[in-house]
A and B are shown apart, each in its own frame.
Chain A
Amino acid sequence: MKQEVQKENSMLLQKQMLSDHYRRLARAKEDGKKVVYTFVPGNLNELIWAFDMLPVHPEINALQSSMRKLSGNYILEAEKFGHSEDVCTYVKCDIGMLRKGNIGPTGEKLPPPDLLLLSYTGCFTFMKWFELLEKEYKCPVVMLQIPYQGDGEVTDSMRQYVVRQLRETAVPMMEKISGKKLNEEKLKSLLESAARAEDDLVWVWDSAKHKPSPIDAYFGGVYYVGPIFSAFRGLPECEQYYRELRSEVEFRIKHKMGPTVPDGELKEQKFRLVVEGPPNWTSFREFWKMFSDEKAVVVSSTYTKVGGLYERGFRHDPSRPFETMADYCLGCYTNRNLPSRIEIIEKYIKDFDADGFLINSIKSCNSFSVGQLLILRELEQRTGKAGGFIESDLVDPRYFSAANIKNRLESYFQMIEAKRSVSAQKEMAK
């Protein structure tokens, strides 16, 4: 008998939000709404909503299609069209979906974009992706240049460089397409709402410091970031979602409960992990079960920060709307240099009292994967914690070898146990 999936209120709420948004998109042309395609990292949702336009995030469509087992066929379609095996599978899934009629994950047709707005260029593939979409849709493109944080910090000149592009390129184009002048007050109010949701999200991330952790900050975490990373940041329903989520987590803390995992509540937690890299979406549940079956909980992860490193203090600030949007674009996780990424993960390991850290290296995602082995070695040295390394892919079902990954994970967990038992023996000997 198929096990009933336990759904909490926040999950039901999010499902409804997504479904409403896809419906809104399907009716966009009828309703006279303009549509902006943009990416999650560095997205300018508040600006898009300020013009009353509708955002679409192609990588969200790709992962949603993948979780609904649709991505395999889309990827084959893109390969038929000439995209090679090595290309980012988010891109191929999106291109395949487009060529098969642009039917979104919920079965409703997605509208073509009126504007392609690229506000983060740390991932070079994103630029190429929009070049391909431009060719397909023949629509205007705004491609902002976001300086890479090579020195690990955002300088004022970098910030002003982005602000100027926002004011001189993005806003005029959006005004032209929407036929509306920018309403700065509306923008400020959206940014204010975003900051409130961000506060609650940070509180939720922080809750993983409890033992047992009331959340899984990777597998559960990708659901938690759903509203704020996709179309909803800045909207009242987004705030409502995070209030609901926060109250659920508060309840779990009060009752010393663990998070809900595929087979129910994970109360007994043998391993606390920090995870770097995106998850595999095609076998998401199976992948998650490999952790929960071993009673492993993820207490912090980097992938759930690609849409904002809020726990490091950043909040959208309505008092300086353009500067705050620039800071947000510049602060993307994958726009950070390797030393910063190492420092971020090291802090997670220490702050969340993790037993180890694991890297899921994605073959077709260079923006994440480059340098991960160096990160692994450096972290092992700095923290003395066990580092693990597994490989899979984003949304191509052909690249998930369950037996191989399970084998590595089991070895990894047993390695942590062996290390623990040696430490315990040393303690006893003292």
Chain B
Amino acid sequence: MNCQTDCFIGIDLGSTTTKAVVMGRGERVLGRGITNSRSNYEVACQVAREEAETSTRFLLLDDRLKKDAKISRSAGKLLSYISCKYALGEHLKQLSALKDECAKVIVEWNRGEEEKALYKGLMSLIFERLASVSEMSFQPGGKAQSDFFRDIATSLFLKEAEAVTKERRLSFDRAVGVFDKAILRVESRSFAAYFADYLGFACEETLKVPEFSGMRGGIASAVKDISGIRFNVVSMVGTGYGRLTLPFPKEQIRSEILCHGLGAHYMFPLTRTVLDIGGQDTKAIQVDANGIVTGFQMNDRCAAGCGRYLGYIADEMNMGVHQLGPLAMQSKKPARINSTCTVFAGAELRERLSLGEKREDIIAGLHRAIILRAMSLIARSGGAFSEFTFTGGVARNQAATAALKELLVENYGEMKMNISSDSIYTGALGASLFAMRAS
């Protein structure tokens, strides 16, 4: 089978991440993809789109497996295995590319051959260990630490590099320097061409599981069909800060405010107010019963209190940004912090730590401060109305959502607050809907 699927693609080129959504006929979301925006929107756009297409294939694979009488009963579990092993295959491929790039960076060094050889050996050992520990990170049913190869590879690399450089008495900083250069190059490459390889690897690994070993024929046929599907992109719409870099005509570019409004309406049709906290801006949006924006307010010249602020705090605290929320949730007495200036945040943090305040209390206070600023925008946009939908990367942070819920109730009374686990894709989702409606 070599069939074609009509689809509509929405791409949201945000300041921190780039997201893509593939929408099928009948307004069915088929796939989603996300990647770091870096400084290269062109690559980010390609990678996010390819990821979304991959995710679409998995959805179609799921449909197909469920239709197979012999497989349907175990289809859910089977797909979870295949997806997990697919992700492992993809990760190992990228890790191998990263290892090669590290070797190239060392070759480019302006240092003696002896030293280069020492660090080449060091890197080989680190990557050997990384490959073996990676398997542990991709277990069926397990939760990925992050969506991004960079995040996973960095945390694993730093841990292993620290141990290995100590053993060999080599410079940890120098090893990290090599890694930093190499990962930039790997991030700028697309690995989508290896889709069939990863899927083949994933199927072989899955078939090793006794429960699935008798399903070889059905799985192979489904995988072959799904790999052969071609996507007929009927229309594409771009949004987000990098939208003007897209080679799209003007009518295929939409403001992220409208995309967030429509995306939120799609996920939660009774939405009336949307709050989106993204990397560099915060938007309060009012929508009507059709998801059409009727009014909005966004932060002006200053980006204080946006997602990037949390990233900065995480760096200051030497933590991953995804760890901030859980830490803040441990607080029993959040600190009272009013300023959300990103530039001052580091100084404020250090001062409070030096005064003996607890880390979790400070972080909880910072989360509340961000939401207080957002509350001002909500008020300016006309207020909060039920249902209230929270979108953007910060909606994934449980401390931010808890503070928002509390302040909404305090200021506007009880209301239904929606947060989707896919909230980060809201803008791209809205863009894909615009793409579909315009065609």
Binding site for B on A (CB under 8 A): 373, 377, 380, 386-387, 389, 391, 399, 401, 403-404, 407-408, 410-411, 414-415, 418-419, 422
Contact = CB atoms under 8 A, between A and B. Distances in A.
Given A399-B301, A422-B290, A414 B382 contact: no
Contact of B300 (A373, A380, A404, A410): A404
B255 A407 contact: yes
Contact of A401 (B256, B296, B300, B382): B300
B301 A404 contact: yes
A410 B254 CA distance: 8
B240 to A, nearest CB: 10
A142 to B, nearest CB: 39
A122 B296 CA distance: 31
B292 interface: yes
A415 B301 contact: no
Contacts of A380: 294-295
A418 B433 CA distance: 13
Name the prevailing secondary structure of the A interface residues: helix
Given A401-B301, A404-B300, A410-B255, A387 B293 contact: no
Contacts of B256: 407, 411
Contact of A391 (B292, B294, B295, B301): B301
Contact of B254 (A391, A404, A414, A419): A414
Interface in B277-307: 281, 288, 290, 292-298, 300-301
B92 to A, nearest CB: 40
Contacts of B189: none
B297 A389 contact: yes
Contacts of A408: 298
B293 A418 contact: yes
Contacts of B296: 411, 415
B257 A411 contact: yes
A419 B291 CA distance: 11
Given A377-B382, A418-B258, A411 B297 contact: no
A284 B293 CA distance: 28
Nearest to B302: A401
Contacts of A401: 300-301
B116 to A, nearest CB: 44
A396 to B, nearest CB: 11
Given A411-B293, A414-B257, 17 more contacts: A377-B382, A380-B295, A389-B297, A399-B301, A403-B241, A404-B298, A404-B300, A407-B256, A410-B255, A411-B258, A411-B296, A414-B255, A415-B294, A415-B296, A418-B258, A418-B293, A422-B290
14 contacts: A386-B295, A403-B241, A404-B300, A408-B298, A411-B257, A415-B258, A415-B292, A415-B296, A418-B292, A419-B292, A419-B294, A422-B288, A422-B290, A422-B292
Contacts of A399: 301
Contacts of A422: 288, 290, 292
Interface in B374-421: 380, 382
A132 B220 CA distance: 85
Contacts of B258: 411, 414-415, 418
A387 B301 contact: no
Contacts of A418: 258, 292-293
Closest 4 CB pairs of A and B: A411-B255, A411-B257, A391-B300, A401-B301
Contacts of B255: 407, 410-411, 414
A391 B302 CA distance: 11
B246 to A, nearest CB: 14
Contacts of B288: 422
A75 to B, nearest CB: 16
B285 to A, nearest CB: 9
Interface in B210-261: 241, 254-258
A386 B254 CA distance: 17
Contacts of B293: 411, 415, 418
Given A410-B255, A414-B254, A386 B294 contact: yes
A404 B298 CA distance: 9
Contacts of A415: 257-258, 292-294, 296
A404 B382 CA distance: 21
A341 B297 CA distance: 22
A418 B261 CA distance: 11
Contacts of A403: 241
B262 to A, nearest CB: 9
A386 B287 CA distance: 12
B306 to A, nearest CB: 12
Nearest to B253: A410
A271 B135 CA distance: 58
A386 B288 CA distance: 13
Q: Counting chain A CB atoms within 10 Å of each CB, which of B281, B294, B296, B300 scores highest? A: B300
Contacts of B254: 414
Contacts of A419: 292, 294
A410 B294 CA distance: 14
